[in-house]
Structure 1
Amino acid sequence: MNDQHHAKPKLVIFDTTLRDGEQSPGAAMTAAEKMEIALELERLGVDVIEAGFPASSPGDLAAVKAIAGRVKDSAVCGLARASDGDVDKAIEAVRDAARPRVHTFIASSPLHMAKKLRLPPEEVLERAKAAVKRARDGVADVEFSPEDAGRSEPDFLCRIIEAAIGAGATTINIPDTVGYRLPEEFAALVRDMMERVPNADKAVFSVHCHDDLGMAVANSLAAVQAGARQVECTINGIGERAGNAALEELVMAVKTRGEAFPCRVEVDATRILALSRLVAATTGMAVQRNKAVVGVNAFAHESGIHQDGVLKDRSTYEIMRAEDVGWDSNSLPLGKLSGRSAVRQRLAALGHELDDGAMDRFFALFKERADSKRFIYDEDLHALRTELG
């Protein structure tokens, strides 16, 4: 299995927490905070860190420059609109990186071209080619995104992708910018582009999915199964509007269901929880309790049926180990749904060994009290034991 795993191509993990994630309302970060997160992303082992949008402000330019000067193991990327000024700023920002990348984009959907850019398709095509060529003159690694690809016309999308690769793009990113596509549709779109674009084999295909309909991770994984070899994501899934595909969910899906994917991921997943907490604390965006992988309930079992199963064999209700993503262990919080076996185990851990008769009386008292409390804590168990006599 190990040999088969390493025979698979690597899935490139492109993290945009510091760029798209920072665009979450209220989530702006200082240069020092961005640096701290960038260094943790490097330790996690992400392949590409999109450190910011250098043309957006002098502060962001300086922050991306600083990160490019410190990070050595991950590529450092700067975002740029398809304009000379943006591209030049991005080149300036990442030039000193060990592995510099410029990511340039322009909208390609009829709606965006007509209403936002107010440009005809041919002009958009020319701007895309010019931006990629200018970026390639500055760095060897250039990514191009046709913004709102999910709502673009396939024929025009083929043309602009072919032109971008011809101009020197090494990665082609297909964004579902507004989270509109369904997984099977998005997979078909990616597969269609890879099959129809004549020079598709000269670039890595990537996806960038938003979560407006709650399908960013599903769409990204469907695209990977269709041939994409880079996924763009953020820690905790933060980002514009409903956010982006969550890095922790993408990584653990591929690790846990490796047989379903034609590629592998190489990140140190044991660092995921600590990084999730750092991003949450830095941005002030709390992680919901039932969030997959990093939510406090992700490895917690309160139902008596589940607790009994987990006490007998964790794999009955856990498809991955809590420790593999940075938790100390799973947890069996006690409440009104808890079963006798979990209560007895916790009592024993607290030094209260009860025979079957005493346990019957204790558990009846526990159930009576648990109906009126959200959780039963250790001090409650001590008190109940004292009350039992």
Structure 2
Amino acid sequence: MTVSANVTAFGDADRVIIFDTTLRDGEQSPGASMNLEEKLRVAEALEAMGVDVIEAGFPVASTGDFEAVKAIAERSSGASVICGLSRATKGDIARCAEAVKPAQRQRIHTFISTSPLHMQYKLQLPPEEVLKRVGESVAYARSLVEDVEWSAEDGSRTEFDFLCRCVEAAIAAGASTINIPDTVGYAVPEEYAAMIKGVMETVPNADKAIFSVHCHNDLGLATANSLAAVKAGARQVECTINGLGERAGNAAMEEIVMAIRTRHDSVPFVTGIKTEHITKVSRMISAITGFPIQPNKAVVGANAFAHESGIHQDGMLKHAGTYEIMTPESVGLTKSTLVLGKHSGRAAFRQKLAELGYGDLGDNAVNDAFTRFKDLADMKKEVFDEDISAIIDETAMRGHDRIKLVSLEVKCGTVFRPPHAVMELEIDGQTASKDATGDGPVDAIFKAVRALVPHETVLELYQVHAVTKGTDAQAEVTVRLREAGKSVNGQGSDTDTMVASAKAYIHALNKLLVKRERQIPGGIAV
């Protein structure tokens, strides 16, 4: 199949294909690994919000990654293309093809480094050998699936003439999408746009492929570079929810999509994303990975639609457009601030879930969430949208935990020295309890967990922030554990910070128990 660069696979010259790599590149963030159930939840949410291509993982990396990509492919409705990543080797490509095979719409995304630095030190191959492998790998992938994407790793630092030769070879071998990534976030918008335009104008068969960009955020320019490339002719943007990704992350999908929607005068293109899903999916990714969203994060941060300055508030009261360039509703935020209370019934709770975008939950999940909501409403005077989102996300995450918190009692302060924790856990269906002391209450709690479930880990991160305002706000705690070179994040929320801390540690420990080996030989950084 050949596709003109001027008309995307979706039949619209102005259509920008959204390629989401949260499950692949995003998951490579230290501590952001997801288990199978979490990956399936994310893939389902991405498909529902209208993502065109879901890069589900790197199948050859591990058995766990292969099984996750295959499961996502099996469950896909066909609304999204399911893509797997592979290096330029037959083993990688065959494994990738096997993983995506169950999907109604399949893609293999194969790559090789093309910059002088990478070819000399990473691949230790001469340019002519790299060029040969480009054609061979794409041709082999094309023999297995119809839809093949090829990437020039470290494309933005590749010599222009050699890049053009590689692109020409990839297209000739059957690649219908060509990705020129800014792998290390080195480019600036003007030069990156010029490079994309130059390749498209120089390569003789460029009209037979869609050009794609994949920008990292090391200099904070990922979104700007992506948009500049789109204006220069690229028609696919590779991005992640919340900008998740290696090092400083990737271009954030919500920023790309809302910039195109809001500044249609300057970026006259469209996407197929249902923007009303953005906030819900953003919060889901934060809850699953344990990576909190910074308050001033564009589009999805807690302060994105908050106005404290008196001048700003006065302007907002007169006309929202004075200080808001997009509406909260356009990204899935509801107008109401307060949500329900302790006297609210199940019907009202279901209605609020629907307003927040959680209308597709099953009866069991709704019942569990409603029980937690009532418990929270008994403890809090005011229950906010963010509280309910935290309940839903935590309920979904805890469904298959092997270790569950049954009870916790903590004694601390100036009288109780050293701080003392009494904990009861359910471990694989059996309950056990333990007393422990520590330097502080959190230390005592974590020592109690270690005594009940012996393990060797290093605590790399302990972070607390309030879900909402007020002294009765739920605390959301993030814990990062490292064991045998692998990091995982756990998250817990509760009005009691100590309980939230215990939940977060136990959540991280549960993820360690099911975590598969994800170390990739040679490393990848497309």
Shorter-chain TM-score: which interval? 0.7 to 0.9
Distance across 1 between alignment mates of 2:281 and 2:229 = 26
**Which residue in 2 is equivalent to 1:34?**
39
**Which residue in 1 is equivalent to 2:20?**
15
Retained in 1: the 8 A contact 2:260–2:268?
no
1:317 aligns with 2:323: yes
Which secondary structure state, in structure 2, belongs to the residue aligned with residue 175 of structure 1? Answer: coil
Q: Give per-residue Cα distances to partners, 1:271-299, cap 9 Å, x unaligned.
A: 00000000001011111000000000000
**Which residue in 2 is equivalent to 1:179?**
185
Distance across 2 between alignment mates of 1:283 and 1:67 = 18
- Distance change >3 Å, CA 111–CA 273, structure 1 → 2: same
Unaligned runs of 5+ in 1: 1-5, 332-374, 380-389
User: 1:261 Cα shift?
Assistant: 2.1
Distance across 2 between alignment mates of 1:90 and 1:208 = 20
What percent identity do the matched residue pairs reach? 61
Q: Match of 2:291, as an amino acid?
A: M
Distance across 1 between alignment mates of 2:122 and 2:471 = 59
**Which residue in 1 is equivalent to 2:83?**
77
User: 1:262 Cα shift?
Assistant: 3.9
Distance across 2 between alignment mates of 1:35 and 1:187 = 35
Unaligned runs of 5+ in 2: 1-10, 338-467, 473-526
Distance across 1 between alignment mates of 2:13 and 2:336 = 31
Q: Match of 1:180, as an amino acid?
A: Y
**Which residue in 2 is equivalent to 1:198?**
204
Q: Give per-residue Cα distances to partners, 1:139-169, cap 9 Å, x unaligned.
A: 0000000100010000000000000000000
Retained in 2: the 8 A contact 1:299–1:330?
no
Distance across 2 between alignment mates of 1:177 and 1:330 = 41
1:91-130 mapped onto 2 (5 Å cutoff): 91-130=97-136
Distance across 2 between alignment mates of 1:70 and 1:289 = 34
Which secondary structure state, in structure 2, belongs to the residue aligned with residue 26 of structure 1? Answer: coil
2:52 alignment partner, one of 41, 47, 55: 47
Distance across 2 between alignment mates of 1:176 and 1:259 = 26
User: 1:263 Cα shift?
Assistant: 2.2
Retained in 2: the 8 A contact 1:191–1:226?
yes
- Distance change >3 Å, CA 301–CA 8, structure 1 → 2: farther
Which secondary structure state, in structure 1, belongs to the residue aligned with residue 180 of structure 2? Answer: strand
Distance across 2 between alignment mates of 1:205 and 1:262 = 17
Distance across 1 between alignment mates of 2:63 and 2:317 = 55
- Distance change >3 Å, CA 376–CA 35, structure 1 → 2: closer
**Which residue in 2 is equivalent to 1:349?**
none
Kindly indicate which of the two structures has a greater share of residues assigned to helix.
Answer: 1
Distance across 2 between alignment mates of 1:230 and 1:108 = 20
1:295 alignment partner, one of 298, 301, 307: 301
Which secondary structure state, in structure 2, belongs to the residue aligned with residue 309 of structure 1? Answer: helix
User: 1:108 Cα shift?
Assistant: 0.1
Distance across 2 between alignment mates of 1:150 and 1:376 = 44
Runs of 4+ in 1 over 6 A off after TM superposition: 375-379
Retained in 1: the 8 A contact 2:120–2:126?
yes
User: 1:80 Cα shift?
Assistant: 0.1
**Which residue in 2 is equivalent to 1:351?**
none
Which secondary structure state, in structure 2, belongs to the residue aligned with residue 277 of structure 1? Answer: helix
TM-score of the superposed pair, with normalisation by structure 2: 0.62
**Which residue in 1 is equivalent to 2:236?**
230
1:345-364 mapped onto 2 (5 Å cutoff): none
Which secondary structure state, in structure 2, belongs to the residue aligned with residue 76 of structure 1? Answer: strand
Residue-pair matches, total: 333
1:330-341 mapped onto 2 (5 Å cutoff): none
Which secondary structure state, in structure 2, belongs to the residue aligned with residue 176 of structure 1? Answer: coil
User: 1:306 Cα shift?
Assistant: 0.2
Distance across 2 between alignment mates of 1:108 and 1:47 = 27
Kindly indicate which of the two structures has a greater share of residues assigned to strand.
Answer: 2
Distance across 2 between alignment mates of 1:142 and 1:51 = 15
Q: Give per-residue Cα distances to partners, 1:148-193, cap 9 Å, x unaligned.
A: 0010000000000000000000000010000000000100010000
Distance across 2 between alignment mates of 1:15 and 1:258 = 21
**Which residue in 1 is equivalent to 2:167?**
161
User: 1:7 Cα shift?
Assistant: 6.7
Retained in 2: the 8 A contact 1:15–1:49?
yes
**Which residue in 2 is equivalent to 1:352?**
none
Distance across 1 between alignment mates of 2:284 and 2:93 = 31
1:207 alignment partner, one of 207, 213, 225: 213
Retained in 2: the 8 A contact 1:112–1:148?
yes
1:253 aligns with 2:259: yes
Worse overlay, 164-173 or 125-134: 125-134
Distance across 2 between alignment mates of 1:281 and 1:310 = 31
Q: Match of 2:14, as an amino acid?
A: P
TM-score of the superposed pair, with normalisation by structure 1: 0.83
Distance across 2 between alignment mates of 1:7 and 1:196 = 23
Which secondary structure state, in structure 1, belongs to the residue aligned with residue 84 of structure 2? Answer: strand
1:221 aligns with 2:252: no
Distance across 2 between alignment mates of 1:301 and 1:171 = 43
Which secondary structure state, in structure 2, belongs to the residue aligned with residue 214 of structure 1? Answer: coil
- Distance change >3 Å, CA 268–CA 376, structure 1 → 2: closer
1:264 alignment partner, one of 240, 265, 270: 270
**Which residue in 1 is equivalent to 2:510?**
none
Which secondary structure state, in structure 1, belongs to the residue aligned with residue 32 of structure 2? Answer: coil
- Distance change >3 Å, CA 297–CA 63, structure 1 → 2: same
Distance across 1 between alignment mates of 2:91 and 2:311 = 61
Q: Match of 2:255, as an amino acid?
A: E
Q: Give per-residue Cα distances to partners, 1:302-329, cap 9 Å, x unaligned.
A: 0000001001110000000011101113
